[in-house]
Amino acid sequence: MTDQALSELLRDRGQRVTSQRLVINRFLHEHDGHLTAEQVLAGVADALPGTALPTVYATLELFEDLGVVRRVQTGGGTMVFDPRTDPHHHLTCRRCGAVEDVEAPVELAGVLRRARRTGFEAEHAEVVVSGLCRECAANA
């Protein structure tokens, strides 16, 4: 997401546009992957000296609420943030915490329709498969 698009989204939702939010957004999208809040903090430390981890968490949570990132629980229990918000699923390694994107061949429309019939307002659906990545399985 560009700085301009994020700025417009923040303003539309009544949020302030701050340099921290813009820098964190840029970092997430330049490092197209699954990052922990600690990795984001380390990555923006030069551009945002003095930024604290709670600020990064608050920004990532805001971005999740805005649909800018997705939160993924890894097989190892670590929380990572994914700037890729299109429909896709994840493979997570329970040993090393690696997360890999998988295109979304699994049809979830039926599950979502069934949820709506029960009155549940589904906002998002994904499949997270936990197990061992190739490297960890080879060393098991």
Over range 65-86, report the average pLDDT.
88
Nearest Cα neighbor of 66 from 121, 11, 128 is 11
Q: CB-based contacts of 111: which residues, under 8 Å, 6+ apart? A: 125
Instruction: Please state the domain count of the chain.
Output: 1
pLDDT at 23 over 80: yes
Distance CA(79)–CA(81), nearest Å, equals: 7
**Stretch 37-44: mean pLDDT:** 97
Q: Which residues of 29-64 are buried (b: 16+ CB within 10 A; e: fewer)?
A: eeeeebbbbebbbebbeeebeebeeebbbebbebbe
Predicted TM-score of the model (pTM): 0.82
Least confident window among 66-70, 85-89, 99-103: 85-89
CATH number at residue 13: 1.10.10.10
Percent of the chain whose pLDDT exceeds 70: 96
- Say what the pLDDT of residue 105 is: 62
pLDDT digits (tens, 9 = 90+) for 115-135: 889 999 877 777 888 899 999
Query: Residue 48: pLDDT above 70?
Result: yes
Segments forming the whole domain that contains residue 84: 3-138
pLDDT of residue 106: 60
The answer for residues whose C-beta is within 8 angstroms of residue 108's C-beta and 6 or more apart is 125, 126, 127
Tell me the torsion sign for CA atoms 99, 102, 107, 109: positive
